[in-house]
Structure 1
Amino acid sequence: MNKVYLGDRTIDGIVVTVDGKPLDEHTQTKCYSRNGFEWSYEGPEPSQLAYAMLVDHLGDTARAEQLQAPFMRSVVANFQNEWEMTSSDIDRILQQLR
């Protein structure tokens, strides 16, 4: 199944969804920031987004934690105001990061 991850900056704030539902922040397993998600720079909020996307995609918190920093630096820090990414995109990026 190819999931679709979407991020948008709205008048009400940041919205990140996976297949149309809010993406779980997964702060209960690893907390980089309690301030919600953010992107377009390197920092704690983009780290939380990278981690949450990887946990959702991989279903493996330990692996997500290992890959969070390079994924955040190479992908999340470069997102535009609105972005879309699929499971296939994430798989391709993870192959390049190995």
Structure 2
Amino acid sequence: METNSTTNPRAAVQDANERCQTNTDRVEYVGMRVDGTPVVLKLTEHERLTPDRSLDLVRHSPAGFDWGYVGSGPAQLACALLLDYYDDENVAHQHYIQFRNEVISQLACDGPADCWHLTGDDIEAALGEFQDHHALTPDGGGPSASLPANWSAVSRTDRTVFQRRDIDHYVVLAEGSEEWLIILCAQGDRAYPAPLDHRTRPVEANPAPAVQELIAESNDLVEPDEEAT
């Protein structure tokens, strides 16, 4: 019976071992297209990386992974790689969008082996750069070095929300298929938040400056409470 490497992880791993060289002393992922289907392998453990675990965290692309551009398939791959490597849902959820934008979107199957390689060292170096730049990321509700003292970033299942601590102002960061939608809104006594202002940015752009603009606008509209700062 003929073996299909797109559905048989062991066959895909064997095929990858013939096409790509790896150092078994380090964590290494390799991606390739098998009959047009994106396949990602964790070579150090001889297994195929699947979206299953990452789909419990974010659901950008239930159909599978992709790379080489900014989109839903690369977002799912970014989350899956970080989750697999760090085994930490908070780290994966905080950094996968920036990891997609900066790393996964740049991956390409090239060279004699017609595949890409990503090592644990590569992943750690990328996240180190993100942290050095103090990216705006959810941090469980605590103060962030990239936000004013009266604001906190919190993680929701489908989006990131930046919450003002002294009044009911929020900045909601939502990713669409082609652009970011960043909304400043106020809750107060209303049943639903009322939008005060918004920004849109291309999905490949860093949304942090727009978030900071709206946060500054809120602080200009209502001066922060001294106790909150």
> Which one of 91, 100, 103 corresponds to residue 72 of structure 1?
100
Q: Which runs of 5+ in 1 are unaligned?
A: none
- What is aligned with 2:37? 13
1:52 alignment partner AA: A
**Residue 39 of structure 1: SS of its match in structure 2?**
coil
> Which one of 89, 94, 98 corresponds to residue 122 of structure 2?
89
1:91 alignment partner AA: E
Deviating beyond 6 angstroms after TM superposition, the runs of 4 or more aligned structure 1 residues are none
Shift of 1:28: 2.4
Please give the alpha-carbon distance, in whole angstroms, between the structure 2 residues aligned to 1:57 and 1:48: 14
Shift of 1:35: 1.6
Query: CA-atom RMSD, angstroms?
Result: 1.3
TM-score between the two structures when normalised by the length of structure 1? 0.91
**Residue 42 of structure 1: SS of its match in structure 2?**
coil
**Residue 69 of structure 2: SS of its match in structure 1?**
coil
Structure having the higher helix fraction is: 1
Please give the alpha-carbon distance, in whole angstroms, between the structure 2 residues aligned to 1:27 and 1:87: 22
Higher relative contact order, chain-length normalized (CA < 8 Å, sep 6+):
1
Q: Which runs of 5+ in 2 are unaligned?
A: 1-24, 110-114, 132-229
TM-score between the two structures when normalised by the length of structure 2? 0.41
Shift of 1:12: 5.2
